[in-house]
Amino acid sequence: MEAGQSFLPGLIEACRAAIALNADRLCLLDEEIGDGDHGTNMRRGCDAVFAERDMLADLPLPQALERIGMTLVMSVGGASGPLYGTLLMELGRGLATDEFGVGHSFSPALSRAVDAVARRGRSVAGEKTLLDVLYPVQAEVSMHSTLDGIASEALAAAERTVAMKAGRGRAAFLGNRSIGHMDPGACSCALLTDAICRYLGELEGA
Amino acid sequence: MRGNGGNVGIVIVSHSPLIARGTADMVRQMVGDSVPLSWCGGNAEGGLGTSAKDILAAIGAAWSEAGVAVFVDLGGAETNSEMAIEMLEPSRARRVAICNAPVVEGAVIAAAEASGGATLSKVVATAEELSP
């Protein structure tokens, strides 16, 4: 992975911009089937990470990811703070080990991190959560799909949550009335995946 | 902590600071200063929400060597509380329990139990009897 000093701050800015641009939409989606604060919470978390970008740039990537996860836990609030925080912390921890072999660690580390999110949320695929984007993204990554392929699958996976009935979170209180709305966590997850893939694509093309 | 000896501490976590504070008021009315007590609720902007950071601070404020029982309202309160407990040093984390009980009734009955010097497991079990 790119090791330049500006790599991580650029990635953080790309994620922050994607959330800032869509914060109102995420809040609206959350108002439909939840408590309406997902956009506000995610924006607060991205701003907190953005404020630490220079310090993070000095860390090796695994440690930086772990630190980003901790910052998200401490700043996002809501259930999404611990869920995204767990994803990043576990991904960092996974990348810090060399048990998968140098250069082959991202896919197994991501897989382990997604499983950790599922445990944290006591959820499984198909319950209309961010896992319904994370699992398909992980599948694309494991198949060595292109960046465009990963991004489009993430966005398509978020669309598929519209038809799902919520099994976890506030939306589950609504039962069948949760059907017909996109899950806000799945939406933010797809937006972030798309932003990350675009950023990496621009670096590749540069 | 004021003259509460070694009694189990109580932490109340609600999305609403009004509910958390009101519940704490009801606990105080029942047990006075005989148990360590702390509450948190609301997000950084003063709206509804929960935060692992605030929960961590609340556990610290209600800390007792006998342990701390945490009462939560909805989903995020529980997930953030679990996260906060994992961030404690392991010797402390082992002595913090999230109670599967209604927040108001649970906190009041747990505090009553704690004020008599009950152990953490007894305090938690008494509160959890409220849940079917």
The CATH code for residues B9-119 is 3.40.50.510
pLDDT at residue B68 above 90? yes
Of B50, B74, B87, the CB nearest to A77: B50
CB distance A73–B48 less than 8 Å?
A: no
Chain B residue with CA closest to A85: the answer is B83
Retrieve residue B75's tokens: 């989903």
CB distance A77–B48 less than 8 Å?
A: no
Q: What is the pTM of this model?
A: 0.92
Residue-level pLDDT at A20: 98
| CB contact at 8 A, A143 and A186 | no
CB distance B75–A83 less than 8 Å?
A: no
Alpha-carbon gap: B14 to the closest alpha carbon of chain A (Å): 11
The CA distance from A68 to A103, in Å, is: 22
Average the pLDDT over B93-119 and give the result.
Answer: 97
Average the pLDDT over B72-96 and give the result.
Answer: 96
Residues of B marked as catalytic: 15
CB distance B52–A73 less than 8 Å?
A: yes
| Per-residue pLDDT band at A100 (split at 50, 70, 90) | low
Alpha-carbon gap: A140 to the closest alpha carbon of chain B (Å): 28
The CA distance from A192 to B100, in Å, is: 34
Residue-level pLDDT at A97: 85
- In chain B, residues 25-84 whose CB comes closer than 8 Å to chain A: 43-45, 47-53, 74-76, 79-80, 82-83
The CA distance from B19 to B39, in Å, is: 10
Residue-level pLDDT at A3: 54
| CB contact at 8 A, A62 and A93 | yes
Residue-level pLDDT at B1: 41
| Per-residue pLDDT band at B86 (split at 50, 70, 90) | very high
Residue-level pLDDT at B44: 86
**CA atoms in the 13 A half-sphere facing the CB of B121:** 1
| Per-residue pLDDT band at A101 (split at 50, 70, 90) | low
Fold of the A7-205 domain: 1.25.40
Nearest Cα neighbor of A190 from A43, A19, A3, A7 is: A19
Residue-level pLDDT at B127: 97
Residue-level pLDDT at B36: 98
Average the pLDDT over A138-143 and give the result.
Answer: 97
Average the pLDDT over B76-104 and give the result.
Answer: 96
Residue-level pLDDT at A34: 93
Contacts of residue A167 in chain B, CB cutoff 8 Å?
none
Contacts of residue A80 in chain B, CB cutoff 8 Å?
76
| CB contact at 8 A, A68 and A88 | yes
CB distance A81–B83 less than 8 Å?
A: yes
Question: What is the three-class DSSP state of A38?
Answer: helix
Q: What are phi and psi of B106, to 5 degrees?
A: -60, -50
Cite the DSSP H helix spans in A37-180: 38-51, 53-57, 61-76, 80-96, 106-121, 131-142, 147-160
Retrieve residue A139's tokens: 């599948």
pLDDT at residue A206 above 80? no
Chain B residue with CA closest to A70: the answer is B87
- Amino acid making up residue B52: A
Q: What are phi and psi of A68, to 5 degrees?
A: -60, -40
Nearest Cα neighbor of A189 from A20, A17, A42 is: A42
Domain spans of chain B, in order of start: 9-119
Q: Return all residues near B78 (Cβ < 8 A) that are at least 6 apart.
A: B72, B98
The CA distance from A121 to A99, in Å, is: 26
Asked if A85 reaches chain B (Cβ–Cβ under 8 Å), the answer is yes
Residue-level pLDDT at B3: 46
Can you spell out the DSSP letters for B62-116? T--TT-EEEEE-SHHHHHHHHHHHHHS-HHHHTTEEEE-S-HHHHHHHHHHHHHT
pLDDT in tens, A110-134: 999 999 999 999 999 999 999 999 9
Residue-level pLDDT at A5: 75
Helix (H) or strand (E) holding B37: strand B37-41
CB distance B47–A37 less than 8 Å?
A: yes
